[in-house]
Amino acid sequence: MKLVLLGAPGAGKGTQADFIKAALKVPVISTGNLLREAIARETELGQKAKQYMDGGNLVPDELIIGLVKEKLQSPDCASGAIFDGFPRTVAQAEALDAFAAPELALSIEVPDEAIVHRMAGRRTCPRCGSTYHVVGNPPRVEGICDKCGETLGIRKDDAPAVVLQRLEVYHAQTEPVKEHYARQNKLREVSGIGSVEEIRERIFQAMEEGL
């Protein structure tokens, strides 16, 4: 099973990917998390990606496509994967179709105003990539990751000015990806407004209908 999760920055893709992973028993490939790991390890990819990410812009297609292709080679992806944050351009979607066409694309729809509020309260685990929200989805112990015990931090690209740039990039470059999957009759749109659990239910229903 290969499933694409689409949605604006902060729409809740990472939060919901965890539930889908547990249900489908396939790994999540989050290009954002892979890039942040590469930056932390100071790899060549990380050094190239950092300037784009800090400014709220997309990392060039060729770097991302190579990264995802390589990740898909790992044995744990033998039964499929959930793609979180990929594809983000029509060129990436076309590339994915050529090497691992997804069965379904789920788009989590959240208006820009709600995104700005969510990003302001997001806390992220620098070790395992888990995300929380100080009000909407707090960790059990304030400031500490439930999953690995690391101290939570704030992503550099969650600064308000960078969030606005990321939203602009999303509308210009990533929204057309929805049309790409709609033409293939693989797109399902789900409202991302409501509690985390409500959205999880909507997603599971859309998956049942769409698969």
Among 20, 82, 85, 145, binds ligand AP5 (CB under 6 A): 85
Give the residue at shortest CB distance from ligand AP5: 32
Among 46, 52, 159, 210, binds ligand AP5 (CB under 6 A): 52
Residue by residue, DSSP assigns 135-164 as TTB--SSTTB-TTT-PBPB--GGGSHHHHH
Strands 81-84 and 187-191: unpaired
Q: In the 3-class helix/strand/coil scheme, how is 3-48 assigned residue by residue?
A: EEEEECCCCCHHHHHHHHHHHHCCCEEEHHHHHHHHHHCCCHHHHH
Residue 202 appears among annotated catalytic residues:
no
- As a whole number of angstroms, the distance between CA 61 and CA 50 comes to 15
Is residue 131 part of the contact set for ligand AP5 (CB under 6 A)? yes
Residue 13 appears among annotated catalytic residues:
yes
Is residue 102 part of the contact set for ligand AP5 (CB under 6 A)? no
Residue 123 appears among annotated catalytic residues:
no
Q: Say how many C-beta atoms besides its own lie within 10 A of residue 109's C-beta.
A: 14
Among 2, 10, 20, 45, binds ligand AP5 (CB under 6 A): 10
Q: Which residues are catalytic?
A: 13, 88, 122, 155, 166
Name the site residues for ligand AP5 (rule: CB under 6 A).
7, 9-15, 31-32, 35, 52-53, 56-59, 64, 85-86, 88, 92, 118, 121-122, 131-133, 136-137, 157, 166, 194-196, 199
